[in-house]
Structure 1
Amino acid sequence: MKTLIRENTNVAGHLLKGKWESPLKTVDDLQTDEGSVIRVNGKRAGAYKDKNQNVYMVDTTCRHMGCEVEWNSGDRTWDCPCHGSRYSVTGEVLEGPAKQPLNKVEE
Structure 2
Amino acid sequence: METNFVTFADSASQSAAGRAEPDSVLLDAYSNTVVTVAKKVSPSVVQIKVSAQPTKKSSVDVHKGRPGQQAGGTGSGFIISTDGYIITNNHVVAGASKIEVALPGDEFTQD
TM-score, normalised relative to structure 1: 0.28
Query: 1 or 2, which has the higher helix percentage?
Result: 2
Larger Rg: 2
Ranked by relative contact order (alpha carbons within 8 Å, sequence separation 6 or more), the top structure is 2
TM-score, normalised relative to structure 2: 0.28
